[in-house]
Structures are given as structure tokens and as C-alpha cells.
């Protein structure tokens, strides 16, 4: 029986579905996928259109609403919303170091995890639509970041299930491989570093001091992880959000305390770094991150093979140890996953061998159907963030041109987290564009 709960301004209903692990073998193993239905209080009995929300990631669970907050407030004016915990996340059957150990060795784990990409997520959504709404009723779709990648997959293979689609910061390159993705994003991350140091010029020396200390003596994090100079650079993931630069600056401000033997990195700083760097709450983000770009139609069967690590060598300005030999800034990195993370993070260490096998995997199915997207009839509107650090703007604009009927709103008013922080303004604009009101 579904559980119904009430929070300020909303009524939620829990749903759990038994879906095939492999949708091409529907009689085989099944896993659970959880979804939370949300409707405005007082409208529980109304016949509202449905809006499915696909979260960013990969490996991120859906938001946990506390009321009519953020973009959800705007959505509930028009829709009954379904917040999907994508397979492996949240209250769906989890995929973590604890649960994956039960599946056997690294090869068994990797084979299992190969079913956790956008193609499987979209098949789950279609399975749920048939069970929840019925085969003849369609729903609207909102995809944020990786959820936008999934939206393109949905439009490629099941457009008959969609009334309309909204994408925020998630128009992936349809024919872009992992290497090209990182060549573009390293350039954008370098610009974000320039912007950060222009805003906080004192951080140049502050970062060099911390990096020099860690280059000589990596620090232990409260959760058992190891803060190396490369892990410290990975705090640059914060620079992609609207308030990220300021938050990073404030973290750096409290980096040092005077200990018994002299200056040492403070517990406050180490705890803050731990909160940003640990994958304990979402290991799939690290394990599957490069796999979301693997597809036969793009690379002809080539493995992603730790693309971010390989491409980094083409950008020597990100070598912290070389930077410390001069007097220039140490650059932070961005949304990149590196093989050493599976050594420094306790939540990832048991998954290292499986991650290596996924990085070497060549048999990835296509995620998009360019021909079908070129003939698309589903109304699509998309917010493309001009300075997006996570999704290359050039790829997004090329995809916007390739999808028939897609209307793009290119803006520098918001960063990648615009959907969450705009108070519903981003979603409102996309809805009005889709409905001919903007």
C-alpha cells in the first residue's frame, strides 16, 4: 500500500516498482525503483497533468521536498510531480560498496552496473508510466543536467510517452565522445579559475600555501579519506554553481590553525573538504561518470579509459606541482573523475576494480537516435547556461539545432544550478516558452 504524507503545502505519495534489471530480458532479475508523487495540498483529487523529474548526476537521488520550495513550487501550479530515485540511488535498490559486495567479484559488479545508465533509466520511466498512468496517457518531463541527457534518450526511443519536455543545463552532445567532452570542459574550468582569482585575488597565495603543504604531506580527512594535492584541486567542482566561488573562498579562509608544532590544517577546513569530496552519499556518480558518454555510434567501440585523466595531460596548467615551482596560481579542476579517487576515498576503494572494468568496456549501446531527434514532434524547451562549467555550451547549442522543434533559451543570468536557485524562474520561463507565452 502506498504511504501518503503531508508537508507544508504538499501531499506526497510513495510508489515502489519492481522493474527488470535488464529491460531486454524482462523475465530476469528485478530491482526496485522508488518514486515520490507530489501534489499541491487541496488538489489531491484533481485530474492534473503529470511531470516526471529526472535528477542530475549520474547517481543522484531525487530532491527530498520539505514543502513548496524552489522549482517545485512553480511546477505544482500546473502539474502533479513524480520525483524519481533513479535506479541505484536513494530508496531504489541501492548500488554502493556495501550492496555491490554481495554480487560477487569485480566483473560481476561491473556487468551489473552497466545497466545503470540513461538507457536503463528511461526504460524504467516508461515502465512506470504504463503502470501509474496507463499506456495511453503521456506525461511531461523535466531533466536537470544528467537528467537532460536522459531526456534526449527518452526523446530518441520513447517519444510517444511524452507530452512536452523541459531541459535545464543538460543538452548533451549527441555525437561527442568523452575525450572531446573533457577538452571542452577543461577550458571552461580554466576560465572559472580565472574568474575566481579575479574575484578573490588573495586566494592565489592561500591556495598555493595549502597545495604546497599537501604536496609534501597529504592530510587525513575525518571520514578516513586522504586529502592529496590533486584531491584538494578537485574542490573546483564547487565553481560551477552560482554561489560556488564564494563558498570555496570561505572554506579557504578557515584553512589554518596554530597547533602545538605550528600551523596546521584546521579540522573545520578538513571537515568542509570531506563534505565536498566524499562519494559516500553517491558512489555511482564516480563509478559511472565517464560511462554516460560511452556509446557505439560515437566512438566505434572505444573505451572511455579514464578520459579526464588522459586529457588532463593536454592541459599542463592543471599540474599543481609544476605550478608550485613557479609563482603562478594553482588551478582547481572541475567535474572530472580520476582513477586515484578510488584510492583516496574509502567509499570508492572497494569499487576500484569494477570501475577499472567499466573504464575499459567497449560494448556500450547508443544513447541517442539523431535521425529520430531530427524528426522530433514533442515540444522541447531548454535552458542553456552560457558559462556552464559542466556541460559544454557549444555541444548544447549543436544539439539544440539537431533536435527538431527544440527552442533554446541561452542565458548568463544563472549558472548550472539555475533550476534549484532561481526560485522557479527558470522553470517558469521554459513552461511559458513551451506554451507560447514567452
What is the set of active-site residues?
145, 388, 416
Nearest Cα to Cα of residue 168 among 32, 74, 258, 90: 74
Measured between its terminal Cα atoms, the distance across the chain in Å is 42
Q: Are 380 and 405 in contact (CB under 8 A)?
A: yes
Tell me which residue of 402, 429, 434, 286 sits closest to 351, measured CA to CA: 286
Q: d(Cα 104, Cα 36) in Å, to the nearest integer?
A: 31
Place of cell 517519444: 159
Is the Cβ–Cβ distance between 390 and 334 less than 8 Å? Answer: yes
Q: Give dist(CA 66, CA 10) in Å, integer.
A: 9
Cβ(418)–Cβ(169) below 8 Å: yes
Q: What is the distance between the alpha carbons of residues 250 and 268, in angstroms, rounded to a whole number?
A: 11
Question: How far is Cα 315 from Cα 10, in angstroms, rounded to an integer?
Answer: 49
Please check whether residue 229 is in contact with residue 274, taking contact to mean a CB–CB distance below 8 angstroms.
Answer: no
Q: Name the DSSP class of 51.
A: E
Torsion-angle region of 352 (φ positive above 0: left; ψ -120 to 50: alpha; else: beta): alpha
Q: What is the largest CA-CA distance in the chain?
A: 71
Alpha helices, DSSP H only, in 229-266?
Answer: 229-233, 244-253
H or E element in which residue 197 lies: helix 178-199
Distances 238 to 18, 81, 370 between C-alpha atoms, Å: 36, 29, 33
H-run or E-run covering 7: strand 4-7
The Cα–Cα gap between 302 and 120 comes to 21
Write out the three cell numbers for 269: 577546513
d(CA 396, CA 248): 27
Question: Do residues 334 and 237 lie in contact, with contact meaning Cβ atoms separated by under 8 Å?
Answer: yes
Amino acid at each position: 500500500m502506498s504511504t501518503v504524507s503531508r508537508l507544508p503545502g504538499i501531499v506526497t505519495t510513495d510508489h515502489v516498482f519492481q522493474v527488470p534489471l535488464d529491460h531486454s530480458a524482462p523475465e530476469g532479475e528485478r530491482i526496485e525503483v522508488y518514486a515520490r508523487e507530489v501534489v499541491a495540498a487541496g488538489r489531491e483529487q484533481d485530474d492534473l497533468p503529470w511531470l516526471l523529474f529526472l535528477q542530475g548526476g549520474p547517481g543522484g537521488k531525487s530532491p527530498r521536498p520539505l514543502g513548496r520550495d524552489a522549482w517545485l513550487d512553480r511546477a505544482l501550479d500546473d502539474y502533479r510531480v513524480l520525483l524519481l530515485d533513479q535506479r541505484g540511488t536513494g530508496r531504489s535498490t541501492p548500488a554502493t560498496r556495501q550492496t555491490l559486495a554481495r554480487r560477487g567479484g569485480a566483473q560481476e559488479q561491473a556487468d551489473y552496473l552497466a545497466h545503470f545508465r540513461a538507457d536503463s533509466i528511461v526504460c524504467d520511466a516508461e515502465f512506470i508510466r504504463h503502470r501509474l498512468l496507463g499506456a495511453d496517457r503521456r506525461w511531461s518531463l523535466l531533466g536537470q543536467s544528467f537528467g537532460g541527457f536522459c531526456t534526449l534518450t527518452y526523446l530518441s526511443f520513447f517519444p510517444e510517452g511524452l507530452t512536452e519536455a523541459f531541459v535545464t543545463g543538460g543538452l548533451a552532445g549527441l555525437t561527442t565522445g568523452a575525450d572531446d567532452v573533457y577538452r571542452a570542459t577543461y577550458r571552461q574550468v580554466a576560465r572559472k579559475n580565472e574568474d575566481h582569482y579575479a574575484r578573490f585575488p588573495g586566494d592565489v597565495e592561500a591556495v598555493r600555501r595549502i597545495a604546497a603543504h599537501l604536496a609534501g604531506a597529504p592530510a587525513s580527512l575525518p571520514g578516513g579519506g586522504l586529502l592529496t594535492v590533486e584531491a584538494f584541486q578537485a574542490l573546483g567542482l564547487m565553481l560551477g554553481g552560482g554561489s560556488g566561488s564564494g563558498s570555496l573562498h570561505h572554506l579557504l579562509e578557515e584553512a589554518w590553525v596554530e597547533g602545538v608544532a605550528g600551523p596546521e590544517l584546521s579540522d573545520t577546513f578538513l571537515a568542509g573538504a570531506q563534505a565536498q569530496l566524499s562519494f559516500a552519499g553517491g558512489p555511482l556518480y564516480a563509478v559511472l561518470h565517464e560511462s554516460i558518454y560511452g556509446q557505439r555510434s560515437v566512438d566505434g567501440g572505444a573505451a572511455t579509459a579514464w578520459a579526464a585523466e588522459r586529457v588532463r595531460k593536454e592541459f599542463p596548467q592543471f599540474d599543481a606541482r609544476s605550478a608550485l615551482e613557479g609563482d603562478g596560481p594553482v588551478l582547481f579542476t572541475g567535474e572530472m573523475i580520476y582513477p586515484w579517487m578510488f584510492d583516496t576515498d574509502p567509499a570508492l576503494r572497494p569499487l576500484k576494480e569494477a570501475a577499472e572494468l567499466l573504464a575499459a568496456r567497449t560494448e556500450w549501446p547508443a544513447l541517442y537516435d539523431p535521425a529520430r531527434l531530427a524528426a522530433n514532434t514533442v515540444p522541447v524547451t531548454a535552458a542553456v547556461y552560457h558559462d556552464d562549467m559542466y556541460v559544454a555550451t557549444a555541444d548544447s547549442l549543436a544539439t539544440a539545432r539537431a533536435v527538431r522543434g527544440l527552442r533554446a533559451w541561452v542565458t548568463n543570468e544563472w549558472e548550472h544550478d539555475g533550476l534549484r536557485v532561481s526560485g522557479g524562474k527558470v522553470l517558469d520561463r521554459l513552461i511559458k516558452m513551451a506554451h507560447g507565452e514567452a
